[in-house]
């Protein structure tokens, strides 16, 4: 019974990575950004605490006054390679800092939550996932299960697929937590979506795993794109 349970969970967990894994050809089409080289692993705490005046860590400053739910993608979005896949980066919403393997410092806004969901989940498919888990996942039982299952997959995670990021929708937002629905396009021009939850810990957004250890909710086929904010590059 235990063997069947873990085999089933591992399959579900693998799907969480495959959802956002893009093939090399798609990445080249998106273009720009990082060269895809592996960043040096950083040991110990990376994302600092709040300064005595309540400001964010040194070098991490964002404009957080505007809180409306995004109706269009930011104009300052560029696409960069992250662990072999194209991921959106925004000069206003984040990630604004790169420290070793970590991309962090997201705006404390709905759009910042969107960027955090995309970036943190994608970082988990690379060899430095342990540092990302320690710094950018909400601690608890879900993270413990995630670590155990991710360890069983090897350093590089699942193989790449030809799926590509198509858009997003913020289905719930408060200054403390947000649910981001990520729209994914398959090569057959079919769409599906998955939901990620991110929590604000006072310093930055962190991805909250499910109690099962997965990073996202159920995969849902999408028949209409109404309501989704579409990425300009897709």
- What's the pLDDT score for residue 10? 45
d(CA 39, CA 102): 8
Give 106-146 pLDDT, tens digit per residue: 999 999 999 999 999 999 988 899 999 999 999 999 999 99
Cα distance between residue 50 and residue 202, in whole Å: 8
DSSP track, 55-91: PPSTT--------PPPSS--TTEEEEEETTEEEEEET
Query: Which helix (H) or strand (E) covers residue 142, if one does?
Result: helix 141-151
Q: How far apart are alpha carbons 232 and 122 in whole angstroms?
A: 20
Task: Mark out the alpha helices in 137-210 (DSSP H runs).
Answer: 141-151
- Average of per-residue pLDDT values in the chain: 80
110 within 8 A of 70, measured Cβ to Cβ: yes
pTM of the model: 0.81
Q: Determine the pLDDT at residue 16.
A: 44
Q: State percent of the chain over pLDDT 90.
A: 57
CA 68 to chain centre: 21
pLDDT digits (tens, 9 = 90+) for 46-98: 676 777 777 788 889 898 987 899 999 999 999 998 887 889 999 999 999 99
Average pLDDT on 140-161 reads 82
C-beta of residue 63 within 8 angstroms of C-beta of residue 94: no
């Amino acid at each position: 019974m235990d063997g069947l349970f873990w085999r089933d969970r591992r399959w579900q967990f693998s799907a969480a990575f495959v959802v956002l894994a893009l093939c090399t050809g798609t990445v080249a089409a998106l273009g720009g950004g990082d060269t895809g080289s592996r960043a040096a692993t950083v040991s110990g705490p990376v994302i600092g605490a709040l300064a005595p005046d309540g400001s964010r860590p040194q070098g991490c400053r964002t404009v957080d006054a505007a809180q409306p739910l995004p109706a269009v993608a930011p104009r300052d979005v560029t696409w960069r390679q992250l662990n072999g896949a194209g991921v959106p980066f925004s000069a206003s919403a984040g990630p604004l800092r790169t420290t070793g393997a970590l991309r962090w410092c997201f705006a404390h806004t709905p759009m910042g939550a969107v960027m955090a969901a995309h970036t943190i989940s994608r970082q988990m498919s690379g060899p430095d996932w342990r540092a990302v888990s320690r710094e950018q996942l909400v601690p608890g039982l879900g993270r413990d299960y995630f670590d155990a299952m991710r360890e069983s997959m090897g350093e590089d995670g699942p193989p790449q697929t030809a799926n590509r990021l198509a858009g997003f929708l913020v289905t719930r937002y408060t200054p403390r937590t947000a649910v981001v629905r990520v729209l994914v396009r398959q090569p057959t021009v079919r769409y599906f979506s998955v939901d990620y939850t991110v929590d604000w810990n006072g310093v930055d957004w962190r991805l909250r795993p499910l109690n099962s250890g997965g990073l996202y909710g159920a995969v849902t086929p999408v028949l209409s794109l109404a309501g989704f904010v579409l990425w300009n590059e897709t």
